[in-house]
């Protein structure tokens, strides 16, 4: 059987949402920052054991000017990937707002949505050092509005953990449908 799932990428501007989608779907990384205007959609087939899922990945613009239209994109999501930049504590703490927005906007499936928290740009930690403590991460992960099920450390630039992250979310959704 083939399942279809809607997955949203959420987080502040420049945390790497588009880079993660490009890495997963096209196995590529662009050095130059690309602003997402509104939303960009990707599709990717994922096989987990003997089941197949078609993910429609909604890469949602992180700039505040898109806040008023984001609720249109969140509604009906089966899962969300909340992303922050490993070198920016501001991007982590901003997720409180994204969690609330997602809860308010995904009326149709919020109670059954499966969400993960993703630390992107781990390849930069060696240059800037660890700027976000485990305590800070755990505080965000426990926010009841986020309903976070799993945590992932990834690098869109290097490809580290990206496939595992998307497959992990897909497995969560499949196991709990």
Phi, psi at 3, each rounded to 5°: -105, 155
The pTM assigned to this predicted structure is: 0.95
Q: Where are the beta strands (DSSP E) in the chain?
A: 2-10, 39-48, 51-60, 79-85, 114-120, 148-153
Q: What is the rounded distance in angstroms from the CA atom of residue 46 to the CA atom of residue 171?
A: 9
State residue 63's pLDDT score: 64
Which pLDDT belongs to residue 38?
67
pLDDT, one tens digit for every residue, the chain (177 residues): 899 999 999 999 999 999 999 999 999 998 887 778 767 899 999 999 999 999 999 998 876 766 667 778 899 999 999 999 999 999 999 999 999 999 999 988 888 889 999 999 999 999 998 899 999 999 999 999 999 999 999 999 999 999 999 999 999 999 988
pLDDT of residue 171: 97
Dist. CA 30–CA 49, nearest whole Å: 31
From the options 1.20.1740.10, 3.40.50.10210, 3.30.200.20, 3.40.50.300, give the CATH code of 2-175: 3.40.50.300
Give residues with Cβ within 8 angstroms of 162, minimum separation 6: 20, 23, 24, 154, 155, 156
| HSE value, Cβ hemisphere, 13 Å, CA-based, for 135 | 0
CA distance 164 to 152: 9
Q: What is the pLDDT of residue 34?
A: 74
pLDDT at 161: 98
Report DSSP state, residue 154: -
pLDDT of residue 45: 98
């Amino acid at each position: 059987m083939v399942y279809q799932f809607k997955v949203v990428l959420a987080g502040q501007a420049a945390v790497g949402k588009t880079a993660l989608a490009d890495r997963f779907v096209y196995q590529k990384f662009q050095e130059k920052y690309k602003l997402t205007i509104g939303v960009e959609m990707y599709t990717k087939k994922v096989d987990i054991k003997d089941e197949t899922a078609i993910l429609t990945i909604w890469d949602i613009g992180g700039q505040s000017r898109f806040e008023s239209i984001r609720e249109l994109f969140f509604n009906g999501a089966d899962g969300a990937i909340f992303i922050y930049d490993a070198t920016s504590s501001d991007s982590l703490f901003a997720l409180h707002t994204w969690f609330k927005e997602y809860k308010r906007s995904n009326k149709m499936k919020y109670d059954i949505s499966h969400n993960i928290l993703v630390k992107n740009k781990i390849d930069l930690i060696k240059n800037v050092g660890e700027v976000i403590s485990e305590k800070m991460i755990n505080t965000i992960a426990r926010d009841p509005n986020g309903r976070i099920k799993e945590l992932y450390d990834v690098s869109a630039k290097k490809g580290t953990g990206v496939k595992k992250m998307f497959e992990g979310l897909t497995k969560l959704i499949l196991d709990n449908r």
